[in-house]
Structure 1
């Protein structure tokens, strides 16, 4: 017996909802509600029935107020678009993906087709066109709202993370600046000299400010995705420049700094500023965690087709399972919690941007060695030196 589609849907409403719910349950993420959502399939089904019934009246275009015209339109122009918009938000809140938003409506279409086939219901082509129009409008509204809400959530999380990082940065900057200002004030009173303990405090604060700014500038470059500025430069001159800046920090920390001789023929092809920041971060980290008055070593040498830059300290060794975690932002692996915990993360990103690898190995009971591994090059016209064993 021929039956109009809205009558078929009304008679089988509970069965169709049950079938859709079963399909959703198979795809639902852990913890998602099994029951029908407030603005889900049941609401859409009722609006579809209402649309089909109105199209059988003398004013079929009035159905557009319920389900919208073909080709979409402003969501506020139809009841279906408004409820689908709320459903898109609802699905995001329950942990569904955008693909599952589309499947959620597709389930109903499939269930209607399957049940019609099983029961021998004869549904007119024009009514299926109305069904497709309703699905099209509902999916468009739900997906649009899902994307908007998802982007809002992501933007909110990014804003929180950025505020946290800026807060850490401002806190450290204020501490170092405050220390330097107080030390300078005491020195100006004339009771102490620059070479005394107060002068040492001033030195430490200024070195800390410089390190903090250098790390932040490197991070800005990496986050902004600025193009790496490749140039061929002497490894020996590069290490000599690092040695100059590291010597002051070694004096402030009262730790001896040992720097190896470097083959003058070796060269690096990369972004000099990023690599200076990366190596400087490793040295700052070494001076921060090495035991008082213990040696920090900087070695640069060639091995096969690679150039290796080692920074070794005497921190006593690394705790188990921390070697990879320590490269994550805001991770600090020792009792000294000063600083942002960003240095190693920025160093790794800077090295990788230069086609290199930054790794760490533990020296049990002694300390650890951070190694920058870069492609090996030679200065123009130079003859390759003998390989390092």
Structure 2
């Protein structure tokens, strides 16, 4: 029974079979009790009534006289066998008019000789026929003189009870058959969607991320199918992002390597005889090397974040120092690109427990992106405020903005959206991870064609309690 379908059918069938057997047993017991109880009760009533009458109105009759009186006055329609026994259990007269001399020692006779109404259901010693016997005591001058015994055959009752039980068994068999058919249908409804899920999972394992499981029913399995399809869609998106990332990084690495190789070959072929050309080549090589280092560092940082190995060197610091340092670093780039860079920070210290280098990495990345997407004569503004124990640092630009469809995913790993600018797509994802390591949050607000504002929210030093991650 390896399959769910087989187990469901077998277990469901066994449970139904057990229930039917229990109900059949109860039904048989109820019918048996009713038929035999009714027959016994009727026999007891007639026997005790007649015995009381004889004991009351034939008090002067000895046992043999009582026996003859009883048989002479017995109804012609009496269907029970009547026997009169003496105190030893010997039959002195029966309803056929015979004195058989047979000794009857069944429990009902013993009870009757003790003054009780005895009942016996069993087989007749002579005929082996199943009978119901009721015995009541006969008295003479206040003493027990004998027994009046009524006996009827129980075979018709057994036949009737067995016949009804047979009909009940037929109905029970029909119920079991119907339940078995129903279990097949139920098992199919449960197993078929699971088999669809299994087939879809196998397709995904083979690399077909477009595989989907059909939702057949609005139940738990249907919910599982929806969840599986959502997972498949997300895996497909991540797979596409990964492929795009590999393609992007390959391009990003190829470009500086090509420049370095080209200028290296030029300098070698030129023999380093022209100083100006040599300096230009070395500057290009140095610049492209820095680009390579930046890409590799991003990949290393991303790897550390993924493995949970990133550690922070926390210290109490003034965030204004980080922002002044970054502002100074981008001052020359601001002049070269003719983009205004404005820094608006409060005169009071912005105290924070943080990692200076990592926070600087965040704002360098944010400003680098702002310069990439802000055209000539644009404005980039860095604003810092403290409100309610939280530091709010915003980097806003008047650049091209971000498409609304890209905005929810812009901080995701490998995501570059519709931008044609160079980059690995990891910058904002790493920034978000660093900010969250500082127990902060990063928000992105943008309007296409108008500009983008990225806000970093960090807890001030007096309220922060950071556990270093790593």
2:403 matches 1:236: no
Contact 2:391 2:457 survives alignment (8 Å) = yes
2:428 matches 1:344: yes
Number of corresponding residues: 271
Contact 1:329 1:345 survives alignment (8 Å) = yes
Contact 2:241 2:414 survives alignment (8 Å) = no
d(CA) in 1 for partners of 2:285, 2:319: 32
Q: 2:184 aligns with which of 13, 17, 28?
A: 17
Correspondence 1:1-389 to 2 at 5 A: 16-24=183-191, 28=193, 92-93=201-202, 95=213, 165-166=245-246, 168-183=248-263, 186=266, 189=270, 191=274, 193=276, 201-202=284-285, 204-226=287-309, 228-229=311-312, 230-247=314-331, 250=334, 255-260=339-344, 263=347, 265-292=349-376, 294-362=378-446, 365-377=449-461
Which SS does the other structure have where 1:222 is aligned?
A: helix
Gaps of 5+ in 1: 38-86, 104-153, 379-389
Contact 2:301 2:310 survives alignment (8 Å) = no
Per-residue displacement from partner, 1:120-141 (whole Å, max 9, x unpaired)?
xxxxxxxxxxxxxxxxxxxxxx
Taking structure 1 as reference, are residues 245 and 183 closer, same or farther at Cα in structure 2, changes over 3 Å only? farther
Per mean C-alpha deviation after superposition, the further-off stretch among 333-342 and 202-211 is 202-211
Contact 1:236 1:263 survives alignment (8 Å) = no
**Under a length normalisation based on structure 2, what TM-score does the superposition of the two structures give?**
0.45
d(CA) in 1 for partners of 2:278, 2:384: 33
Which SS does the other structure have where 2:410 is aligned?
A: helix
Which SS does the other structure have where 1:218 is aligned?
A: helix
Taking structure 1 as reference, are residues 324 and 168 closer, same or farther at Cα in structure 2, changes over 3 Å only? same
Contact 1:298 1:310 survives alignment (8 Å) = yes
Which SS does the other structure have where 1:341 is aligned?
A: coil
Alignment match, 2:228: none
d(CA) in 2 for partners of 1:167, 1:208: 17
d(CA) in 2 for partners of 1:253, 1:348: 27
Per-residue displacement from partner, 1:57-116 (whole Å, max 9, x unpaired)?
xxxxxxxxxxxxxxxxxxxxxxxxxxxxxx99558448599xxxx99xxxxxxxxxxxxx
Alignment match, 2:60: none
Aligned-pair CA distance for 1:318: 3.5
**Under a length normalisation based on structure 1, what TM-score does the superposition of the two structures give?**
0.53
Contact 1:256 1:296 survives alignment (8 Å) = yes
Per-residue displacement from partner, 1:215-264 (whole Å, max 9, x unpaired)?
22332222112365233222122223333543465567564544445646
Contact 1:348 1:357 survives alignment (8 Å) = yes
Which SS does the other structure have where 1:360 is aligned?
A: strand
Which SS does the other structure have where 2:413 is aligned?
A: coil
Taking structure 1 as reference, are residues 186 and 315 closer, same or farther at Cα in structure 2, changes over 3 Å only? farther
Higher Rg of the two aligned structures: 2
Q: CA RMSD, aligned part only?
A: 4.8
The structure, 1 or 2, with the larger RCO (C-alpha pairs under 8 Å, 6+ apart) is 1
d(CA) in 1 for partners of 2:259, 2:334: 19
Gaps of 5+ in 2: 1-165, 203-211, 222-233, 463-470
Per mean C-alpha deviation after superposition, the further-off stretch among 11-20 and 302-311 is 11-20
Structure 1 or 2: larger strand share? 2
d(CA) in 1 for partners of 2:349, 2:334: 28
Contact 1:193 1:199 survives alignment (8 Å) = no
